[in-house]
Amino acid sequence: MFTTTITPRIGDTDGLRHINNNVVPIWFETARNPIFRIFVPNLELTYKKWNLILAHTETNYIKQIYFGYDVEIRTYVSRIGNSSFTIIQEVWQNGQLRCSGLATMVHFNFIKQKSERIPDDVRKELEKHLITEKELKIKNDKEMKENKKHIEEFDYIESDM
C-alpha cells in the first residue's frame, strides 16, 4: 500500500460545501506517482521514456469529503496481467473511507505505439502491493469499526435552514 496525504484547498469544494466530485480523480493521479516511479524511476515525460497509458477508471462516491481536514489516499494493486494492471485507490478522511476507485493502466511503448509485456522486475515491485478486493473489504470494515470519530465535522445542511 502506498499512502499520500493531501490538504484540500477551498477551490476543491463546490457550492454544496463538500469536495467536488472531480477533485477525487485528480488526487488519485497525484497518488499514482509511486506507481509511475516503478515504471519510470525519474518520471521523465518523453515518448522515449514514459511507458504507461490509462485505459479505464471507476470511482465510487461513498461519503462526503470536507475542506478543513487532510485526506489520505491509499493505493493498492489488485491485478497484474500481461501488459496491463489494475490499481485500487481510496480516499480516507477522519478515519472513514469516503471514495474508492480503480484504474487500469497499460505498459505502452509510445515510439512503437503498442502495448508491451510488463517486465519481471516491475512485476515483482507491483506484487508487493497486491491485495484482493475481499481482503481489502475485511481490512477496511475492521478499521472503520475501530475508529471512534473524535472529530466533529461540519453540519452544513443545518447552516442552510
Binding residues (CB under 8 A) for a copy of itself: these are 4, 7, 9-17, 20-23, 25-26, 29-30, 33, 36, 42-48, 50, 53-61, 67-68, 110-111, 113, 154, 156-157, 159-161
Shortest CB 146 distance to a copy of itself, Å: 25
Neighbours of 6 (CB within 10 A): 17
Shortest CB 111 distance to a copy of itself, Å: 6
Task: Return d(Cα 91, Cα 74) in angstroms, integer.
Answer: 7
- How far is C-alpha 116 from the chain's CA centre? 24
Q: Which is nearer to a copy of itself, 110 or 131 (CB)?
A: 110
Q: Which is nearer to a copy of itself, 111 or 146 (CB)?
A: 111
Shortest CB 68 distance to a copy of itself, Å: 4
Shortest CB 120 distance to a copy of itself, Å: 25
Q: Which is nearer to a copy of itself, 109 or 124 (CB)?
A: 109
Classify 11 in phi/psi space as left (phi over 0), alpha (psi -120 to 50) or beta: alpha
Q: Which is nearer to a copy of itself, 120 or 160 (CB)?
A: 160
Task: Return d(Cα 154, Cα 148) in angstroms, integer.
Answer: 17
